Amino acid sequence: MTHSRIPRHIAIIMDGNGRWAKKRFLPRYAGHKAGVETVRKILKLCAEQKIKVLTLFAFSSENWRRPKKEVSLLMELFMTALQREVKRLDKNNVRLRIIGVREAFTEKLQELIHEAEKRTEHNSGLTLNIAANYGGHWDIVEAAKRLAEKVEQGTLKSQEINESLFAEQLCLANLPEPDLFIRTGGEKRISNFLLWQLAYTEMYLTETLWPDFDKAAFMEALNSFSARQRRFGRTSEQVEEENA
């Protein structure tokens, strides 16, 4: 699709919780809690705007390097949010998926994840992907491993491997690639988020801290997206001709 006013898939790095809390002389944890509220609001907006897929970066494979206390508070928050929200998500026809290495989580959290996915798997509204203990490098390496296994078993020839076959092995297989990437909090990097999938995604980087990312900020991102011309390598004349 070369021209679309509304993105089908939005991927977000929800950054700036810590700084938001610091500005208010609050512990970092208060920022993460406020961040969960923003997730709730953005979900509602996505449903209103008929967005099909929303992928949120909640915890990166590098975030284990944070102080132990913060990591365990984040895990707790993830767990309570899952417990509290699943019913509502299900009621709103949201299909929830968690992407990342879940074996690193406690048994209890893994169980909650499994139940939440199972409960919502047949829902046909918004698909919500939460990236937790996710890394873009990991995703690509796992895909390569799966293909290598098939070659080893003799069910695939290495010459048959192509981009679409490779993409089918990735976490977000069978979903449209992100049209819009949003990073709040002012940093200008991908931080090992969706590396393969962001190849042609429109970038929207904002200084706004995640807990402050409200309806107006979200609509601004959508407006910015709708004003862009996606060329996918072609010239602007070619794209205009096609859309005429």
- Residue closer to ligand IPE (CB basis): 65 or 122: 65
Q: Is 129 in the site for ligand IPE (CB under 6 A)?
A: no
- Residue closer to Mg ion (CB basis): 20 or 105: 20
Q: Is 54 in the site for ligand IPE (CB under 6 A)?
A: no
Q: What is the DSSP string of 42-73?
A: HHHHHHHTT--EEEEEEEETTGGGS-HHHHHH
Find the binder of Mg ion among 15, 85, 139, 179 (CB under 5 A). 15
Cα–Cα distance measured from residue 128 to residue 155, given in angstroms and rounded to the nearest whole number: 33
Give least dist CB 46 to ligand IPE, A: 18
Q: Is 102 in the site for ligand IPE (CB under 6 A)?
A: no
Residue 134 three-state SS = strand
Cα–Cα distance measured from residue 96 to residue 105, given in angstroms and rounded to the nearest whole number: 18
Q: Is 15 a catalytic residue?
A: yes
Report whether 197 contacts 168 (CB < 8 A). no
- Residue closer to Mg ion (CB basis): 15 or 139: 15
Cα–Cα distance measured from residue 244 to residue 239, given in angstroms and rounded to the nearest whole number: 9
Report whether 191 contacts 220 (CB < 8 A). no
Residue 22 CB neighbours (<10 A): 14
- Residue closer to Mg ion (CB basis): 17 or 201: 17
Span interacting with ligand IPE, options 98-106, 142-150, 164-172, 184-192, rule CB under 6 A: 184-192
Find the binder of ligand IPE among 59, 105, 213, 225 (CB under 6 A). 59
Residue 30 CB neighbours (<10 A): 17
- Residue closer to Mg ion (CB basis): 38 or 120: 38
Q: Is 16 in the site for ligand IPE (CB under 6 A)?
A: yes
Using CB under 5 A as the binding criterion, the count of chain residues that bind Mg ion stands at: 1
Find the binder of ligand IPE among 121, 187, 240, 242 (CB under 6 A). 187
The binder of 74, among ligand IPE, Mg ion, none, by C-beta within 5 to 8 A per type, is: ligand IPE
The binder of 58, among Mg ion, ligand IPE, none, by C-beta within 5 to 8 A per type, is: ligand IPE
Give least dist CB 17 to Mg ion, A: 7
Cα–Cα distance measured from residue 147 to residue 210, given in angstroms and rounded to the nearest whole number: 37
Q: Is 129 a catalytic residue?
A: no
The binder of 189, among Mg ion, ligand IPE, none, by C-beta within 5 to 8 A per type, is: ligand IPE
List contacts with ligand IPE (CB under 6 A): 13-19, 57-60, 62-63, 74, 185, 187, 189, 191
List contacts with Mg ion (CB under 5 A): 15
